[in-house]
Structure formats: structure tokens, C-alpha cells
Amino acid sequence: MKAHRLQIACPGASVETVVEDPGRELAGLALIAHPHPLHGGSLDNKVAYTLARAALARGYLAVRPNFRGVGASTGAYDYGIGEARDLVAVAEHLAAQFGYLPWTLLGFSFGAYVQHRVAREIEARRLVMVGPAVSMYDFGAPAVPTAIVHGEEDELIPLAAVRAYAEAHAVPLHTIPGAGHFFHGKLVPLRTLVEGLLEP
């Protein structure tokens, strides 16, 4: 596996991005969004890292940008709007280098909200939302085939709210018993579940 740390120019920001190559023929491209940047979220978040490991295990190029204002990314927090624009720009930049392989979008918490917006702007095979903050942001109907992974004991985003969203939009909901919002002690079952969702 090869890992590279890049600075990708986006409108209004320069986005620090870690790109990891599984070292074999690529099954696709995976864009991974971390949790809220004003609450400690970064590309090094353990859930974002776990999503990257799941993607790599399935042969995807794993792309983890830092949202604007985080790490070496410039710019300032923009309520998910500018962040989504940045991820679209990152996707367009990398797609040109990798033969326009299909994108899979993965996002955790606030990152799921950002990816929900990104899915309206780029051609993506699927969206996997982990712990999506549906009780905090206006998600609306998903634009691409979508799956949700949620902790049964999530203390920040009530499972009932996620279940209501999933039922309203016919989105498959996968729960992890005993898992809170940050999946403490549950990263292995999270990775296993997501790997299953990423099967071709």
C-alpha cells in the first residue's frame, strides 16, 4: 500500500488530502469525509481511518481530505456548503488521474451530511453514511443508492431519528449493537460491516 499527502487547490481553499493506494488493480475510488471540524474532526479521526481501511481492503483508492481550516487545509468552516464544494473539487482532481473510475462516498456524522450534498454534484456508485447527523442537518432524499450504519446506543444522534429517516427514504439501515456515536470498542465490527457494503 502506498500513501501520499497532497495539497489540492479548490475554490476558496487548499485542501490537505491523504490518498492511499491498495497496491493492486483498483475497484474504484472512495472519498471519505470526517466528522465536524469545529469539534475535533480531522482526516485522522478513528472512524474515518476505519472507513479508509475498509475501502482499501476492497481494492479502492482511499481518499481522506481535511475539511477547510483543519490541519494544512486553508479556509474557514462553511456549514457543510463550502466543504461539499471542496470535496467535489478533490474528486474531480483525482478522477482525472485515475481514469474516471466510479466513486463511492463514505462519511461519518457531519461528514455524512457533506457527502449527502456531494452525491448531488458528482457521479457516484453509492453513499455510505455512518452515524449520520440527521437530527442536526437537513438531509433530504439521497441522490444515489445509499446505506446507513448506526450505533444502537448512539448518544448524539438518536437511533429513532435515523430509523425514521431511513424508513421515509427507503434506505437500508444497519445497526451495530452496543456502539455509541464514536464506535468506541466497535471499530472492528464497523469495518467488517462496511467492507460488506463495499462488495462489487
What is the average per-residue pLDDT within 94-122? 95
Q: To the nearest whole number, what is the mean pLDDT of the chain?
A: 96
The 10s digit of each residue's pLDDT in 117-167 is 999 999 999 999 999 999 999 999 999 999 999 999 999 999 999 999 999
Give yes or no for residue 200 having a pLDDT over 80: no
Q: What is the pLDDT of residues 47-86, one digit of tens each?
A: 999 999 999 999 999 999 999 999 999 999 999 999 999 9
User: Where residue 27 falls among pLDDT bands split at 50, 70, 90?
Assistant: very high
pLDDT value for 68: 95
The pLDDT of residue 98 is 86
Q: Please give the biggest Cα pair distance in the chain.
A: 42
- Phi-psi map region of 14: left, alpha, beta (phi>0 left; psi -120 to 50 alpha): beta
Instruction: Tell me how far CA of residue 21 lies from CA of 55, 57, 105, 119, in angstroms.
Output: 10, 10, 16, 23
Q: Is the pTM of this model over 0.95?
A: yes
Fold of the CATH domain 2-197: Rossmann fold (3.40.50)
Question: Domains of the chain: which residue ranges?
Answer: 2-197
